[in-house]
């Protein structure tokens, strides 16, 4: 597996670059959406209803969720299920390549894509919209790795068990909609009932953990109706880490060549 893995990673990276929709929506679109919202003057002004925090600062971590959902929950299941339908995986099963190598190659490419997407969002928010850089870089990095790791693990699990592209697309869409809703992409989280806000803290990628580590926690907590502010809570990270481990392990165990 080790000898074949670099070759698989390079091949998957080249194929990823040839998919304009995935590159455009998974890597570039989160930054575009952030800039579109930032172009609205009212969203760049502090709001008393949001704890004197600007809406654009509140929404910036949410834009990270968009890239994670597209790459982790839509791209990976679609690609692997297509490989299965086209017989690519069946042919690979006759070689010494281990099933885990296929998932690891997909994971590496997806992680690189998500890091690039997040970097573009953070730098654009800082340079163009005057959104401060993550105030707690280490907790932010931990929340990013754990939260997005869980998203990718769920995507790999769907890819591993879906018998065909149709089923993979259906499962990935359900997971995508759940992640986007919990992440505040469809409805800002401060407009949701408190019970849904709390639930969203534990649904990957855990946008509240990213928010707490990025911006002014006190103001954002007031905006979200959360009593306590501070670094990401250990319980949030622990649950998402558990999801990542369980889903990733199940994906490797249940992987089907055909």
DSSP state of 233: P
Mean pLDDT across the chain: 83
What SS3 state is found at 181? Answer: helix
How sure is the predictor about 232, in pLDDT bands with cuts at 50, 70 and 90? low
Q: Is the pLDDT of residue 71 over 60?
A: yes
Residues near 43 by Cβ (< 8 Å), separated by ≥ 6?
A: 37, 54, 55, 56, 59
Residue 87, pLDDT > 90, answer: no
pLDDT above 50 (res 183): yes
Selection from 105, 252, 196, 52 nearest residue 113 by Cα:
105
Q: How many domains does the chain have?
A: 1
Q: What is the pLDDT of residue 216?
A: 52
How many residues are there in the chain?
A: 258
The whole-number average pLDDT for the span 220-240 is 63
Burial code of 9-27, b = ≥16 C-beta within 10 A, e = fewer?
Answer: beebeeebeeeeebbebbb
pLDDT in tens, 98-144: 767 777 888 889 889 999 999 999 999 999 999 888 888 888 899 89
Q: Is the dihedral of CA 118, 123, 124, 129 positive or negative?
A: positive
Contacts of 213 (CB under 8 A, 6+ apart): 134, 135, 136, 137, 139, 140, 142, 143, 231, 232
| Average pLDDT of span 58-85 | 87
Q: pLDDT-based confidence at 67, cuts 50/70/90?
A: confident
For 1, 88, 90, 134, 249, the CA distances from 6, given in Å and listed in that order, are 9, 18, 20, 33, 21
Instruction: Give me the pLDDT at residue 228, please.
Output: 44
| Residue 150: pLDDT over 90 | yes
What pLDDT was estimated at residue 227? 46
> Which pLDDT score, from 0 to 100, does residue 2 have?
52
Q: Tell me how far apart the alpha carbons of residues 169 and 181 are, in angstroms, rounded to a whole number.
A: 18
Please tell me the predicted confidence (pLDDT) of residue 164: 86
How many C-beta atoms lie closer than 10 Å to residue 102's C-beta? 28
Q: What is the pLDDT of residue 218?
A: 43
pLDDT in tens, 44-58: 888 777 667 788 888
| CB within 8 Å of 117: residues ≥ 6 apart | 26, 27, 28, 30, 31, 64, 67, 71
Token digits for 210? 């990213």
Q: What is the pLDDT of residues 7-63, one digit of tens each?
A: 888 888 888 888 888 788 888 999 999 999 999 998 888 877 766 778 888 888 888
Q: For residues 156 and 75, give the distance between their C-alpha atoms in angstroms, rounded to a whole number.
A: 10
At 229, which helix (H) or strand (E)? none
Q: Which residues, including other chains, have CB under 8 Å from residue 231's CB and lie 6 or more apart?
A: 136, 139, 212, 213
Q: Which residue has the higher pLDDT, 194 or 224?
A: 194
pLDDT at 3: 66
Q: Which domain holds residue 114?
A: 5-254
């Amino acid at each position: 597996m080790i000898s074949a893995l670099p070759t698989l990673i390079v091949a998957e990276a080249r194929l990823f670059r040839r998919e304009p929709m995935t590159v455009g929506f998974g890597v570039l679109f989160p930054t575009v959406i952030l800039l579109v919202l930032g172009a609205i003057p009212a969203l760049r002004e502090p709001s008393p209803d949001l704890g004197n925090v600007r809406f654009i600062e509140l929404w910036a971590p949410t834009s990270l969720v968009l890239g994670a959902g597209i790459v982790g929950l839509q791209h990976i299941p679609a690609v692997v299920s297509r490989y299965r339908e086209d017989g690519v995986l069946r042919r690979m099963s006759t070689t010494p390549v281990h099933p885990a190598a296929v998932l690891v190659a997909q994971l590496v490419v997806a992680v690189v894509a998500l890091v690039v997407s997040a970097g573009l969002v953070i730098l654009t928010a800082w340079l163009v919209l005057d959104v401060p850089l993550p105030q707690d870089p280490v907790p932010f990095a931990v929340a990013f790795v754990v939260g997005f790791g869980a998203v990718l693990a769920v995507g790999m699990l769907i890819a591993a068990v879906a018998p065909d592209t149709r089923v993979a697309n259906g499962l990935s869409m359900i997971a995508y909609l759940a992640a986007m809703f919990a992440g505040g992409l469809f409805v800002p989280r401060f407009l949701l009932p408190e019970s849904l806000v709390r639930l969203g803290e534990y649904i990957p990628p855990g946008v509240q953990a990213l928010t707490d580590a990025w911006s002014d926690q006190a103001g954002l907590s007031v905006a979200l109706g959360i009593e306590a502010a501070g670094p990401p809570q250990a319980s949030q990270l622990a649950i998402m880490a558990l999801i990542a481990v369980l889903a990733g392990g199940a994906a490797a165990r249940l992987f089907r060549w055909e």
